[in-house]
Structure 1
Amino acid sequence: MLQISYIRQNINIVKEKLGVKNFGDLSLVDKVVSLDEQVRKLKAESESLQASVNAASKEIGMLMGKGDKASAEQKKQEVATQKTTIQNLNEQLSAVEKELHDELVKLPNLPHISVPKGKTPEENEVVREGGTKPDLPATAVPHWDLIKTYDLVDFETGAKLTGSGFPLYKGKGAKLQRALIQYFLDFNTAAGYTEYLPPLMVNEATAYGTGQLPDKEGQMYHVTADGFYLIPTAEVPVTNIYRDEIIKENEVPVKMTAYTPCFRREAGSFGSDVRGLNRVHQFDKIEIVQLVHPEKSYDVLEEMVLHVEKLLNTLELPYRILRLCGGDMSFASALTFDFEVYSAAQQKWLECSSVSNFETFQTNRMKIRYKDAAGKTQLLHSLNGSSLALPRIVACLLENNQTESGIQLPKVLHSYFGAETIG
């Protein structure tokens, strides 16, 4: 959530930055500022009247001490009238504060100065590429065919058990999932991240804290009887671990990692973009989250990008890093770098990770703070990244490493998988 004090002091800058994100209703900024003015006016009136009541109460005591009961009774009547007015003002204040909050949470985070303008993924900036694209034979096939050949995933039975987009991993397919999950967690914990295993359902306050609500309620599975939501990513429960807490400055940065299944309703509807593992409703992902000092968050963002890049290099996959344009960024992000791996058989790039800095947008919602050297309470910055999401990694590992004798796995996975090939 944006800080109202910043909006109030920088109305034109806020509108300009929201324009970079292609936010459609800039009049909402004016409405928020108007509501804020009403809140401050009502507070001032209420506080002024309360000060008058306090002064009059002292005066009543003095008059009673002098024996001037008539003047004291008159003052009491004035105080009673003022108290009724204060009550009415406070009721108005509560209503306007709620309206201000309800409108304020509709505003997305402001983009960093480096975010390029643009509306579509085609306008994202390629920062750099790494790895080598394999030269596959003409007989190479996409991963959905390889999955059938080596009996790794059963989409039909998954659909029978739940529905389309819920794959059933089996045999070596299940073993590969487990190997990747363990390797990714080991890679992250070796870099200083503490591992967590969070709940897979969260309440409304938790979903609100990271910006999933009210922006993405249609993308989450809702357990209506209990008001819980199946998590779309481990970012949601993990970041909320420190909700409503003040962290000691010497304990910052806080570095967390977690493996969870992830659940997303928006899995697409047609074409090769959603075929096989390209887009599913349930998938496994390992997340990294950091809570950091505001002055260091963009250095940490670069550190996290390099961390994910190093992980992809160990998997020997060709990749590229994109700086997302304003129109392709998430509601809560200030700056996002996407990682895509190259699918040689499909001849296309597939997103496998996003690394983002949210600055104070999430921590303001969750009230995650620290005390600076002067003892003043300040908001921390939050960052997160996929490290990594498995489906498209698996798709590219299968496609890019297919040979006549089987799937040749990268060396780093041999000990985790217990073999060098899937065959």
Structure 2
Amino acid sequence: MNQDWRGALVRRLLLILLGCLLLGLVSGHLAWSLVLGLVLYLSWTLRQLLRLLAWLQQNPDAPPPASHGIWAEVFDNLYQLQRRELRQRNQLQAIIDRVQSSTAALKDGVIMLDSHGNLEWWNIAASDFLGLKHQQDTGHPITNVVRHPAFKEYFERGLYDEPLEIVSPVNDRIYLQVNITRHGNSEHMFLVRDITRLHHLEQMRKDFVANLSHELRTPLTVITGYLETLLENSGEQPGIWQRALQQMDQQAGRMQHLISDLLLLAKLETTSHPSANNPVAVDQLLKSIKSDALALSAEKQHRISLEADSHIQLRGSESELRSAFSNLVFNAVKYTPEGGDIQIRWWGNEQGAFLCVQDSGIGIDRRHLPRLTERFYRVDSSRASTTGGTGLGLAIVKHVLLRHMGRLDIDSVPGKGSAFTCHFQAAQVVRAGGWGLEAGRKE
């Protein structure tokens, strides 16, 4: 085909040139004859361009205008390209229609946003859950349509590893879980799920644990009181009874710690924000925790060092932060062999503030790290009796950090020790003076 139109073009040019030569020889004006032939050929070419432009502007789906030579090839090729593009466009539209019809039937809400965070498309379930209206809300920012403070903060923060739970703006008896996924060119896809039943079950669990813990506290206090009385007079008892009473007292103490941790965890789960939002002098708090850790270390003779920037304070609840930080430090004491090193560091920079508790203890296998903050999860259940732990310490740490806009990173190598690092966002940090540990103190 290509060789045909090329040959036709050459023949046409040769015929025009030959005609111009003959006309020039007859008329005696060879140059003017060549110019006339060139003008006629350019006029014909311009006419074909104008026909092409008119066809593309008026009705490109119609058959192309009739022509011949190279322009016939141009018209035909453009027409075939348009036909191919139309078929592909129809196929893509059919796929989009199938996807939209499938997602429209889902019980979970699906929302698509553009790169600017504006609403593009959503299914019927999303409309029911969030009250979205296609004619009014299309093209508007999602944060202007879903007016929920927690949702706006969650979306603008850009950290979507954990889902968000909110109350439906349409019905306050419906609880929703929002999962956000980034894709394409900074676009977002939302998956909104009704978790009302799961929320009620979780609330029942929390209430049950809290109520049971409260109910157990009174009889346990009575039992421990009698045990203390019996232990004070244990000299009058046989040796076997003395050992039994000591073990009973030890287990009663463990149960008291367990109940205290359960009550604290239940309290942390009831709200998403700390009980206070005042600047906390973390360096002084860590100094107090270090003193308690040295007392806990006792005969193990750990080398505990503290390096804290006194200029970096943290907004929040001092009691909650004490619970979280002391759990990390006391865990390091429990799982670090005799004579080991424990380093506590507190510093900040433009990105936020950081607390790192690093030890030279037994370490943790990498496969256990994702589950360490689960309630009652233990790497080795046999260690519970020797360390006296409740299995709730890191769960408390996780919830306290979430309430203070923080997260916990864990790095550990078996046999070489572990490092627990708390990251706090800059919005929670109160700074006075320069950044870095050089502005703080070392003890």
TM-score, normalised to structure 1's length?
Answer: 0.23
Q: Which has the larger radius of gyration?
A: 2
Greater fraction of residues in helix: 2
Query: Which of the pair has the greater relative contact order for Cα pairs under 8 Å at 6+ separation?
Result: 1
TM-score, normalised to structure 2's length?
Answer: 0.22
